[in-house]
Structure 1
Amino acid sequence: MPEASRTSYPGRVRALLDDLDARSGTAIGEAAALLLRSVEADGIVHVAGAGHSLALVCETFYRAGGLAAVRPMWDPAVLPLDDAVRSTRAERQEGLGRSVVREAAPAPPDVAVVFSTSGRNPYPVEIAEECAALGVPVIAVTSPRASRHAAARTETALADHAAVVLDTVVPPGDVLHPPEAPRTAAVSTVLAAYTWSRVLAELDDLAVAKGVELPCWTSANVPGGDETNRALLARYGHRVPELTGLT
């Protein structure tokens, strides 16, 4: 790749994607195998994140091509859309993550997936810690490099409580541009969404190899999508109340 291409924003993103593949390729396979075991045993995948990591929770939930056996595990206080400052306070508030887990009540053979780039605020750490204590294995989607440079608001990091760590290779501070003094163009959502899509692709390959039919949503905008999704709603609606609003 020419020097100009390597230092451009697109080039730097592509380089990070290559780094992610190299660092997390094995772990992505482990995460997919863990999810397949859970789905085969009729488990639920509980997915958590706070602030902008909630974008990744949305990416996993009720999404075309995504698993139907997914339940968002969250508190409205961590959503930044109606009070951004409150959401920052909430993810730093001790005890909120634990209360979220108590409300969701995950149990084996469930799995938890926790998205947090820094993995150093109480909210994601508590969720991971509580799930692990309940015997529910945790897949952490995080950046150890960013975590090492983040303000330590907990004694442990998200990765410390995970059965599988997916390294998103997000740089400290998240931003990439300009390269000599980055101040804009955050990359964490791009990298974490790519990571999750890679997990789903690997999961599909494993399921096909084992002859397992995955419960996946179909786009509602293609013929037959509504019919396929109605069957999945009947199967999971009573276990994932967020699908129908019956919370």
Structure 2
Amino acid sequence: MPDAARLRLPGRVRALLDDLDTASGEAIGAAAALLLDAVQAGGIVHVAGAGHSLVMVCETFYRAGGLAAVRPIWAPDVLPLDDAVRSTRAERRTGVGRAVVKEAAPAPPDVAVVFSTSGRNPYPVEIAAECAARDVPVVAVTSARAADGAAARAATTLADHAAIVVDTRVPPGDVLHPPEAPRTAAVSTILAAYAWSRILADLDDLAAARGADPPRWTSANVPGGDERNTALIERYRHRVPELTGGE
């Protein structure tokens, strides 16, 4: 790619995607295998994040083409949509993450996936630590560069408690534009969503090699989608109460 093109936002995003592939390709394959092993053993994938990382929790849950054996675990206070200032305070407050895990009660053969760009706030750190203490392996989707450039608000980082770390390569501060003094165009959601899609693709390839057919949602807007999804809801509603509101 010509140097001038690399300086423009599309080129810089593509360069980061290539960087992610190089840095995390092996970890993505390992994460895919871990998740497939858990689902085949009857486990659930518990997925967590705070603030804008909750976008990734939505991306993993009840999503066309996504795994059906996924449970979102989160505290209402970390959602920024109705009180943004509260959400920032909540993910920095000790005890919130531990309470979320206690309520969800993950146990082997479950696994956990925790999304946090910096991985430095107590909320994602506590979730990962509590899951690991329950012998539930953690996949951390985070950025070492962002962690290095962030304020340390916990004694450890998300990555410290993870069995597998998928490094998204998000730069400190998240923003990309303009290149000489970045102040806008956050990239963490793009990179984390790409990493998750790569995990799903690797999981699908591995399942095919094993002759397995993991439970996946179908778009409700294609013929037969509602029927297939209804069967999956019945299969998982008792382990994933968020599918039916706990009914």
Q: Do both share a fold (TM > 0.5)? A: yes
Equivalent residue for 1:154? 154
SS in 1 for 2:46: strand
Equivalent residue for 1:197? 197
Letter in 1 for 2:112: A
| 1:2 Cα offset (Å) | 1.3
CA distance in 1, matches of 2:246, 2:40: 26
Q: 2:114 matched to 1:98? A: no
Equivalent residue for 2:228? 228
Equivalent residue for 2:44? 44
Residues 16-40 of structure 1, C-alpha deviation per residue, up to 9 Å, x if partnerless? 0000000000000000010011011
CA distance in 2, matches of 1:2, 1:138: 39
- Deviant stretches of 4+, over 6 Å: none
CA distance in 1, matches of 2:41, 2:138: 17
CA distance in 2, matches of 1:232, 1:211: 20
SS in 2 for 1:216: coil
| 1:181 Cα offset (Å) | 0.2
| 1:73 Cα offset (Å) | 0.6
Output aligned runs, 1:58-207, within 5 Å: 58-207=58-207
Contiguous gaps of at least 5 residues in structure 2: none
| 1:107 Cα offset (Å) | 0.1
CA distance in 1, matches of 2:40, 2:226: 24
Contiguous gaps of at least 5 residues in structure 1: none
Output aligned runs, 1:3-42, within 5 Å: 3-42=3-42
CA distance in 2, matches of 1:3, 1:124: 37
Letter in 2 for 1:246: G
CA distance in 2, matches of 1:154, 1:128: 12
Residues 76-114 of structure 1, C-alpha deviation per residue, up to 9 Å, x if partnerless? 000000000000000000000000000000000000000
CA distance in 2, matches of 1:238, 1:104: 12
Could you tell me the TM-score, scaled by structure 2's length?
0.99
CA distance in 1, matches of 2:183, 2:65: 34
| 1:237 Cα offset (Å) | 0.9
CA distance in 1, matches of 2:183, 2:120: 22
Residues 163-195 of structure 1, C-alpha deviation per residue, up to 9 Å, x if partnerless? 000000000000000000000000000000000
CA distance in 1, matches of 2:242, 2:227: 19
CA distance in 1, matches of 2:240, 2:129: 22
* Count of residue pairs brought into register by the alignment: 247
CA distance in 1, matches of 2:144, 2:216: 31
Residues 94-148 of structure 1, C-alpha deviation per residue, up to 9 Å, x if partnerless? 0000000000000000000000000000000000000000000000000011101
CA distance in 2, matches of 1:3, 1:60: 35
CA distance in 2, matches of 1:63, 1:3: 38
CA distance in 1, matches of 2:34, 2:246: 29
CA distance in 1, matches of 2:230, 2:126: 35
SS in 2 for 1:33: helix
| 1:149 Cα offset (Å) | 0.9
